[in-house]
Amino acid sequence: MLKKLILKKYFLGFFLGFAALLTQACDYFEPSEDRTVVVRVNDSYLYEEDIASLINEDTSPEDSSIIVSNYITRWATQQLLIDRAELNLPESQQKEFSDLVSNYRNELYTNAYTEAVVSRDLDTSLNKAEIEDYYAQNKENFILNEDLVKLRYINLAKNSNNLDELKTKFRRFNEKDQQDLIDIALQFKNYSLNDSVWVKTKSVYNKIGPLSVEDRASLLKKSNFMELQDSLNVYLVYVNDVLSRNEQAPLEYASATIREILLNKRKQALIKELEKDITKDAIKNNEFEIYN
């Protein structure tokens, strides 16, 4: 209700100033729908409901006036430019634009519909055997383009208590050590103790600040412990395993990509089936026929 009052108050004031520009146009207002017209530019109409969403109940009348005035000016200018373009651009260019708009509209509608059907009907469950089979048959497509490492690391303050004990537990890393480190993990600024997952070396560089060129080379050595420092922090790193660029990507690393590939294949098959069924139904129901 308040928004409507603001709009009405605005329209009353705005049109007193805008009336001079629209006096002649007002004689031609013949909207076909039972809606309140705000502005007309030739055969294009802007309605009150188009503008209502621009402001809310918290917007002051002054700000509302500015917002709506700017919108109307932009809208009117755009419509006038479009009308002028239609008068002056070559017919061939206008046809090209019209075809582009039509094609874009068609793609929007068909893509929205097929995506809705796919999200409803696509079976996203994949078993381990399917992923393993695809990997085995397409190994040549899964070659690493960057180095991978399995590692664990801890970032903690330089003045931390029991640093030597922490280093011992971190390097030895038996079950008790692992649990002890997890129990005191709140003391760490950052950490990852899961050294069974392949990660890109670039992500390690981002996590561990003081890695020099020499340190980065050491990062690519298996079973290697590193202790790095900057002015405030100590970084403990243990490299468990390494795979170099151009080596075969391991199955566990390639699995996410394979899953995406297999689901996309299912999606494309589902879309083809949809297109086939919709065409078959249209022919059956006499909605689609080709004239000889």
Q: Identify whether residues 15 and 157 lie together within a single domain.
A: no
pLDDT in tens, 15-74: 434 433 343 334 444 555 688 999 999 999 999 988 888 888 888 889 889 999 999 999
Residue 42 Ramachandran class (φ > 0 left, ψ -120 to 50 alpha, else beta): left
b/e per residue 73-94 (b: at least 16 CB within 10 A): eebbeebeeeeeeeeeeeeeee
Q: Identify whether residues 274 and 133 lie together within a single domain.
A: yes
Give mean pLDDT, residues 166-178: 96
Q: Identify whether residues 154 and 218 lie together within a single domain.
A: yes
Residue 167: CATH number of its domain:
3.10.50
- Tell me, yes or no, whether 210 lies in a domain: yes
At residue 214, the pLDDT reads: 85
For residue 39, what are the contacts with CB-CB under 8 A and spacing of at least 6? 22, 45, 46, 72, 75, 76
Q: Identify whether residues 66 and 205 lie together within a single domain.
A: no
What is the residue type of 232?
A: L
Q: Identify whether residues 67 and 156 lie together within a single domain.
A: no
Least confident of 6-15, 56-65, 222-231: 6-15
Of 4 and 278, which is predicted with more confidence?
278
CA distance linking residue 86 with residue 265, whole number of Å:
44
Query: Per the structure, how many domains does the chain have?
Result: 3
Q: Identify whether residues 133 and 273 lie together within a single domain.
A: yes
Q: Identify whether residues 7 and 87 lie together within a single domain.
A: yes
CA distance linking residue 280 with residue 187, whole number of Å:
66
Q: Identify whether residues 193 and 265 lie together within a single domain.
A: no
At residue 30, the pLDDT reads: 54
- pTM reported for the whole predicted model: 0.70
For residue 130, what are the contacts with CB-CB under 8 A and spacing of at least 6? 262
Residue 48: give the domain boundaries: 2-91
The answer to whether 39 touches 22, Cβ cutoff 8 Å, is: yes
Q: Identify whether residues 9 and 50 lie together within a single domain.
A: yes
β pairing state of 190-192 and 233-243: unpaired
At residue 52, the pLDDT reads: 87
CA distance linking residue 53 with residue 4, whole number of Å:
11
For residue 262, what are the contacts with CB-CB under 8 A and spacing of at least 6? 126, 130, 131, 134
Q: Identify whether residues 227 and 189 lie together within a single domain.
A: yes
Mean of the per-residue pLDDT values of the chain: 88
Give mean pLDDT, residues 99-116: 97
Q: Identify whether residues 133 and 264 lie together within a single domain.
A: yes
